[in-house]
């Protein structure tokens, strides 16, 4: 028979009676596949075509708690659900871009963590170490106590490239004056003088510093000296140092010191000046401390008040500490809701 005269392709030919035994098993298999694909939907689950893929809905490192897809797309234990990196304050806010290796934003009254970027990485703090030095000195000495200075600031600066207050052996300085010299010009000589006075010697004082961070529950910090010069055993995290900065501004005496632009100690030397430029350039700034070493790079803990809110920002490993701090502050202040209410 000449099949070319039919008006449909040969592949659409109806099977003959003796070929049905070949077609029926194939149809049975296709039917079972179709039925199986619809069983989850019939049982109350999502159709396979409507279930969002976790890789697209919850990329690694992204926050999936605000404005998130349905819970099935980001189950507890997923990287996105558990991640503490860059949690946005609200769904519309774009996380800020900074030069720092790690950062944190704390709302001061309750200590709420508003933002975290590698916030528990252990990094060198540089002179942010002096925040803890000041806390321990204030806790264990009266501001009016007289300190017999033994450190030579000029020699310390020449041998270690330290920032110094300018102390000389034989001077008698109050604890208050040394705290100004510690926190304003970031005097390493003032750190050593306070450590020797309060602890008896530097190692004993450093033990007190480490006891303080343990008391505060800050597990990513260990001190090796009271001034912040690089040491393998000296490290902190953005979260820990922000919490230490919060603790400092909760102490009225220290809070007053870090927001003071310039101070004249009771000595024959010149006034000491605050090295934190945010006090003059960022509205609402109230301190706290900056630092720099070759290993740590730029470091900062900054605090500011606006519209009844007080934020503490920390940045470690930065090449632009003031720009980074301002970027984080502005981003956090755009959300007017307080996390402490």
Task: pLDDT tens for the chain, 341 residues: list them.
Answer: 333 322 323 333 444 444 444 444 444 544 554 444 443 333 333 333 333 222 222 322 333 222 222 222 223 222 222 233 434 444 346 778 999 999 999 999 999 999 999 999 999 999 999 999 999 999 999 999 999 999 999 999 999 999 999 999 999 999 999 999 999 999 999 999 999 999 999 999 999 999 999 999 999 999 999 999 999 999 999 999 999 999 999 999 999 999 999 999 999 999 999 999 999 999 999 999 999 999 999 999 999 999 999 999 999 999 999 999 999 999 999 987 788 87
Determine contact, residues 137/179, Cβ cutoff 8 Å.
yes
Phi, psi of 104 (to 5 degrees): -150, 150
pLDDT at 93: 60
Q: pTM (2 decimals)?
A: 0.74
Give pairs for 87-96: CB < 8 Å, separation 24+: 87/63, 87/114, 87/115, 87/116, 88/63, 89/114, 89/115, 89/331, 89/332, 89/334, 89/335, 89/337, 90/66, 90/335, 91/66, 91/67, 93/331, 93/334, 93/335, 95/331, 96/327, 96/328, 96/331
Catalytic residue status for 55: no
Contact 276, 289 (CB under 8 A): yes
CATH code of the region 102-333: 3.40.710.10
Q: Which of 4, 49, 51, 186 is catalytic?
A: 186
pLDDT of residue 340: 83
CA–CA distance, 177 with 257 (Å, rounded to integer): 10
Closest by Cα among 138, 140, 165, 143 to 152 = 165
Q: 74-97, pLDDT tens digit by residue?
A: 232 222 222 334 344 443 467 789
Q: Is 186 a catalytic residue?
A: yes
Delimit the domains of the chain by residue range: 102-333
pLDDT of residue 95: 76
Task: Give the integer Cα–Cα distance in Å for 137 and 129.
Answer: 13
- Answer yes or no: 127 catalytic: yes
pLDDT at 336: 75
Tens of pLDDT, residue by residue over 8-60, are: 233 334 444 444 444 444 445 445 544 444 433 333 333 333 332 222 223 22
């Amino acid at each position: 028979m000449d099949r070319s005269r039919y008006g449909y392709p040969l592949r659409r030919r109806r099977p003959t009676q003796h070929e049905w035994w070949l077609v029926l098993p194939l149809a049975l298999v296709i039917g079972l596949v179709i039925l199986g694909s619809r069983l989850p939907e019939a049982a109350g689950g999502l159709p396979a075509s409507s279930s969002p893929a976790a890789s697209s809905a919850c990329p690694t490192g992204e926050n999936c708690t605000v404005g998130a897809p349905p819970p099935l797309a980001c189950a507890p234990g997923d990287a996105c659900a558990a991640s503490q990196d860059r949690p946005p304050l609200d769904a519309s806010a774009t996380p800020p871009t900074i030069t720092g290796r790690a950062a944190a934003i704390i709302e001061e009254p309750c200590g709420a963590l508003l933002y975290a970027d590698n916030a528990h990485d252990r990094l060198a703090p540089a002179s942010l170490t002096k925040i803890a030095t000041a806390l321990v000195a204030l806790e264990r000495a009266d501001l009016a106590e007289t300190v017999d200075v033994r450190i030579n600031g000029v020699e310390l600066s020449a041998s270690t490239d330290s920032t110094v207050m300018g102390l000389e052996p034989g001077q008698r300085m109050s604890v208050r004056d040394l705290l100004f010299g510690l926190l304003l010009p970031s005097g390493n000589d003032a750190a050593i003088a306070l450590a020797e006075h309060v602890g008896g010697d530097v190692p004993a004082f450093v033990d007190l510093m480490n006891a303080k961070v343990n008391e505060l529950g800050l597990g990513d910090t260990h001190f090796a000296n009271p001034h912040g010069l690089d040491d393998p055993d000296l490290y902190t995290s953005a979260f820990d140092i922000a919490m230490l900065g919060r603790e400092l501004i909760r102490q009225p005496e220290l809070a007053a010191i870090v927001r003071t632009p310039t101070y004249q100690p009771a000595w024959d030397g010149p006034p000491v000046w605050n090295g934190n430029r945010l006090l003059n350039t960022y509205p609402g700034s109230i301190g706290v401390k900056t630092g720099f070493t070759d290993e740590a790079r730029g470091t900062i803990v900054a605090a500011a008040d606006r519209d009844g809110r007080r934020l503490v920002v920390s940045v470690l490993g930065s090449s632009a500490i003031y720009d980074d701090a301002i970027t984080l502050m502005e981003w956090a202040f755009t959300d007017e809701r307080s996390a402490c209410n």
